[in-house]
Structure 1
Amino acid sequence: MQEWQDEKLISENLTDVRNDGKGGTARNLLIGLFILIIMLSLTWHMIFKDYSIKEMKAILLQADWRWLLGGFTLMLIHQCCIALSIIRVMNYIAPTLQVKFKVAFNTSFIGFFFNNITPSSSGGQPMQMYYLKKLSIPMSYTSVVFIALAIFYNLSMLFYCACVSVFRSGYLQENLGYVSYLLPLGYLLYIVTTTFLLLLFFNPKIIVAALRFVLGMLMRKKLIKNPRNLVRKLLHFSKRYIASSLSFNKNWRLLLELMALHLVQMAAYTAVPFFACMALRAGNTQNCWQLLKDSFSMQAVLNIAASLVPSPGAVGLTEGGFLQLFGNIVPDKQLIPALLLTRVINLYVFLLIAAVITTICFIRVDFKLNAANLNKLDQE
Structure 2
Amino acid sequence: MLNKKKSIANTIFLVLIFALTLYSVFHGEDLPAVLRTIGEVNPWYLIPGTAGVILFIWGESIIIWYMFGTLDIHEKKRTCFLYSCVGFFFSAVTPSASGGQPMQIYYMRKNKIPIPVATLVLMIVTITYKSVLVFVGLFVAFFQRGFVHKYLEGILPIFYLGVALNVGCCVAMSILAFHPELAKWIMMKGLRLLEKSRLMKHKEKRTKKLADSMEQYKATAAYFGTHKKVIFNVILITFFQRFSLFFVTWFVYKAFGLHGTSIYDVVMLQAVVSVSVDMLPLPGGMGISENLFLIIFKTVFTAGLLLPGMVLSRGIAFYVQLLFSATLTLVAHVRIGRGREETTETCEQQAG
TM-score, reference length from structure 2: 0.85
Aligned AA (1:345): I
CA distances 1:9-38 after superposition (whole Å, capped 9, x unpaired): xxxxxxxxx8xxxxx624323332332222
Which secondary structure does the structure 2 equivalent of 1:85 belong to?
A: helix
Counterpart residue number, 2:67: 89
CA distances 1:163-209 after superposition (whole Å, capped 9, x unpaired): 33344321321321331111221111111110111111122345665
Counterpart residue number, 2:344: none
Counterpart residue number, 1:50: 28
Distance 2:220 2:286 in 1: 36
Choose which of 293, 296, 301 in structure 1 pairs with 2:272.
301
Q: Quick check: 1:267 aligned with 2:220?
A: no
CA distances 1:207-264 after superposition (whole Å, capped 9, x unpaired): 66578779997xx845649x9xx78xx85x8767634640343322111101101111
Cα gap change, 1:344/1:297 in structure 2, threshold over 3 Å: closer, same or farther?
same
Choose which of 106, 117, 135 in structure 2 pairs with 1:159.
135
Unaligned runs of 5+ in 2: 196-200, 339-352
Q: Quick check: 1:174 aligned with 2:189?
A: no
Counterpart residue number, 1:75: 53
Distance 1:146 1:240 in 2: 12
Preserved contact between residue 56 and residue 337 of structure 1 (Cα < 8 Å): yes
Question: Please, what is the CA RMSD of the aligned residues?
Answer: 2.9
- Once the two structures are aligned, what percentage of the paired residues are identical? 23
Counterpart residue number, 2:169: 193
Preserved contact between residue 178 and residue 220 of structure 2 (Cα < 8 Å): no
Aligned AA (1:185): L
Which secondary structure does the structure 1 equivalent of 2:112 belong to?
A: coil
Counterpart residue number, 1:354: 325
Which secondary structure does the structure 2 equivalent of 1:116 belong to?
A: helix
Counterpart residue number, 2:255: 279
Distance 1:265 1:304 in 2: 15
Distance 2:224 2:190 in 1: 26
Distance 1:202 1:175 in 2: 37
CA distances 1:79-101 after superposition (whole Å, capped 9, x unpaired): 11101111122221x20x21221
Cα gap change, 1:173/1:241 in structure 2, threshold over 3 Å: closer, same or farther?
closer
Aligned AA (2:17): M
Distance 1:306 1:238 in 2: 28
Distance 2:304 2:55 in 1: 31
Preserved contact between residue 186 and residue 305 of structure 1 (Cα < 8 Å): yes
TM alignment of 1:226-241, pairs within 5 A? none
Q: Quick check: 1:320 aligned with 2:291?
A: yes
Aligned AA (1:292): I
Preserved contact between residue 291 and residue 329 of structure 1 (Cα < 8 Å): no
Q: Quick check: 1:257 aligned with 2:233?
A: yes
Unaligned runs of 5+ in 1: 1-17, 19-23, 368-380
Aligned AA (1:133): R
Preserved contact between residue 111 and residue 124 of structure 1 (Cα < 8 Å): yes
CA distances 1:42-92 after superposition (whole Å, capped 9, x unpaired): 222222223212211111111222111111111111111101111122221
Aligned AA (2:69): N
Aligned AA (2:233): E
TM-score, reference length from structure 1: 0.79
Distance 2:205 2:229 in 1: 43
Q: Quick check: 1:339 aligned with 2:310?
A: yes
Say which is worse superposed, 120-129 or 44-53, in terms of deviation: 44-53
Cα gap change, 1:137/1:214 in structure 2, threshold over 3 Å: closer, same or farther?
farther
Distance 1:183 1:215 in 2: 32
Choose which of 112, 134, 159 in structure 2 pairs with 1:183.
159
Aligned AA (2:56): H
Preserved contact between residue 124 and residue 220 of structure 2 (Cα < 8 Å): no
Cα gap change, 1:169/1:212 in structure 2, threshold over 3 Å: closer, same or farther?
closer
Distance 1:273 1:238 in 2: 40
Counterpart residue number, 1:32: 10
Which secondary structure does the structure 2 equivalent of 1:249 belong to?
A: helix
Preserved contact between residue 177 and residue 324 of structure 1 (Cα < 8 Å): no
CA-CA distance at 1:142 after TM superposition: 1.2
Distance 2:314 2:286 in 1: 10
Cα gap change, 1:200/1:292 in structure 2, threshold over 3 Å: closer, same or farther?
same
Distance 1:279 1:59 in 2: 11
